[in-house]
């Protein structure tokens, strides 16, 4: 069972070098800290993926970003991280790279207008030289309460 390969827990400061490495491998900025970050860890408590929730006053929670390290892709890590965050927050919005839209579609996310995205999150794309190549798409999902129990967050 994929769920037994990893578990979820809140990120700690000592996880950040792993997480920043995974982010850098995807051309993403290093994380500002562990706040809002959940990690998926292997049996040795080494992070294999992470999801950061960004909170902006007056807006639903946003994902920025979710990353599974390359050798662990396809084992349900990304789904577990997103489903746990969705169950915890009740609603998630985000701007997906074009290449990750099929992942979010598989999780039931739908397309949103750009003005449904919190300004600080939308601003990440505004000055980006790679915007054309990336093809960002605003997406969101409201928790429907029907998810089964996922891996526990310790």
Ligand X SMILES: CC(C)(COP(=O)(O)OP(=O)(O)OC[C@H]1O[C@@H](n2cnc3c(N)ncnc32)[C@H](O)[C@@H]1OP(=O)(O)O)[C@@H](O)C(=O)NCCC(=O)NCCS
Does residue 38 touch ligand X according to CB under 6 A? no
Binding mask 121-150 for ligand X (x = CB under 6 A): ------------------------------
- Minimum distance between the CB of residue 125 and ligand X, rounded to whole angstroms? 11
H, E, C per residue of the chain: CHHHHCEEEECCHHHHHHHHHHHHHCCCCCCCCCCCEEEEECCCCCEEEEEEEECCCCCCEEEEEEEECHHHCCCCHHHHHHHHHHHHHCEEEEEECHHHHHHHHHCCCEECCHHHCCHHHHHHHHCCCCHHHHCCEEEEEECCCCCCCCCCEC
Which one, 16 or 81, has the nearer CB to ligand X? 81
* Closest residue by beta carbon to ligand X: 78
Which residues in the 60-99 window bind ligand X by CB under 6 A?
Answer: 65-68, 73-79, 96-97, 99
Residues contributing to the site for ligand X (CB under 6 A): 26, 65-68, 73-79, 96-97, 99-100, 102-103, 106
């Amino acid at each position: 069972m994929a769920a037994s390969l990893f578990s979820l827990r809140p990120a700690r400061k000592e996880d950040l070098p792993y997480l920043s490495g995974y982010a850098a491998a995807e051309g993403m900025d290093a994380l500002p800290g562990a706040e809002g970050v959940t990690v998926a860890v292997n049996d040795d408590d080494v992070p294999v993926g992470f999801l950061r929730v960004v909170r902006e006053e007056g807006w639903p929670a946003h994902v920025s970003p979710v990353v599974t390290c390359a050798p662990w892709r396809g084992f349900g890590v990304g789904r577990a991280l997103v489903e746990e965050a969705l169950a915890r927050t009740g609603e998630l919005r985000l701007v997906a790279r074009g290449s990750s839209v099929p992942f979010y579609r598989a999780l039931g996310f739908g397309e949103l207008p750009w003005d449904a995205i919190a300004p600080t999150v939308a601003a990440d794309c505004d000055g980006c030289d790679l915007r054309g190549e990336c093809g960002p798409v605003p997406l969101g999902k409201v928790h429907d309460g029907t998810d089964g129990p996922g891996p526990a967050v310790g």
